[in-house]
């Protein structure tokens, strides 16, 4: 039996716990997710290093999964635009059962290997695309079909699973096993298995964006301000990066459409925003490269 399906020997009287003990048990169990991700750091790093050249060459991040794993893929894909100004069309997720499965479980969809291949191929993957295939069990037919289809067209495949020695990690070019073991509620991989997958997706996509110069120091300098909170954040980030006062930072941002990168280079280099934009283009979007030019 898969580790994620094996009933836990701990907390056998879970349903009898007083509420504070019940909540503490759930919280403590989540620590295993962090430990599993930490143990997988070398594999995650190898996957990131393999993915970056593909994405630099114009590839997309394509997420494939079923159930909780698939929904986590959707979540990661939609968060990249506001955080890093990453184009929607370059972060695309497919979910077993289709879009409606995001909001309501579509039972049985994950068992269709051929549909996984069809859904992946419908995205017209290329050699520069990076496919992130997720399955807690590591055996989901839908995900395995997508991996096979992706490999046949030469796309890079990264398989993420929560059981050692399973096909999703083995059949992908880069396998990441998050050995979270059994769940506090037997088989409910929306718990720590899901948490570990969320951490890994955050880590992979964020690390790629750092390598693509979407971050200066640890500052989110390529965000897309789409609401009042984010517009205020662009001002704070520009002030922090340059030491400028609020009025000066805001003026520079207004001149460049609230593009933090451009404002930072313009203020630190004491150039116009047009010149700052040109310097960033020459430096392939790197704030450090533009400042050192």
Catalytic residues: 79, 110
What are the backbone angles phi and psi of residue 162, rounded to the nearest 5°?
A: -115, 10
Rounded Cα–Cα distance for residues 244 and 266 (Å): 11
DSSP 8-state code for residue 56: H
Q: Are 66 and 74 in contact (CB under 8 A)?
A: no
User: Packing angle between helix 260-269 and helix 228-242, nearest 10 degrees?
Assistant: 30
Q: Are 272 and 266 in contact (CB under 8 A)?
A: yes
User: Packing angle between helix 67-84 and helix 192-211, nearest 10 degrees?
Assistant: 30
Pairing of strands 215-216, 219-220: antiparallel
Hey, what are 118's tokens?
A: 């069809």
């Amino acid at each position: 039996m898969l580790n994620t399906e094996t009933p836990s020997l701990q907390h056998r009287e879970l349903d009898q716990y007083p509420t504070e003990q019940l909540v503490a048990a759930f919280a403590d169990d989540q620590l295993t997710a962090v430990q599993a991700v930490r143990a997988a750091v070398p594999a995650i790093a190898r996957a990131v290093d393999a993915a970056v050249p593909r994405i630099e060459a114009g590839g997309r991040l394509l997420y494939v999964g079923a159930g909780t794993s698939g929904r986590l893929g959707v979540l990661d894909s939609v968060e990249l635009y506001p955080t890093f100004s990453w184009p929607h069309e370059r972060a695309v997720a497919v979910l077993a059962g289709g879009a409606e499965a995001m909001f309501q479980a579509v039972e049985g969809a994950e068992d269709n290997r051929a549909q996984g291949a069809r859904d992946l191929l419908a995205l017209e993957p290329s050699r520069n695309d990076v496919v992130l295939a997720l399955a807690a069990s590591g055996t989901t037919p839908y995900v395995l079909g997508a991996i096979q289809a992706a490999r046949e067209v030469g796309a890079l495949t990264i398989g993420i699973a929560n059981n050692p020695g399973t096909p999703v990690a083995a059949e992908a070019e880069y396998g990441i096993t998050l050995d979270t073991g059994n769940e506090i509620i037997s088989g409910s991989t929306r718990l720590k298995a899901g948490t570990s997958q969320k951490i890994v997706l955050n880590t992979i996509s964020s690390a790629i964006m750092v390598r693509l110069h979407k971050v200066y120091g640890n500052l989110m300098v390529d965000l897309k301000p789409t609401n009042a909170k984010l517009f205020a954040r662009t001002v704070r980030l520009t002030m922090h990066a340059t030491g400028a006062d609020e009025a000066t930072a805001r003026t520079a941002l207004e001149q460049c459409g609230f593009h933090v990168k451009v404002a930072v280079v313009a203020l630190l280099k004491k150039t116009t925003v047009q010149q700052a934009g040109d310097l960033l283009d020459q430096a392939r979007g790197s704030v450090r490269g533009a400042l050192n030019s």
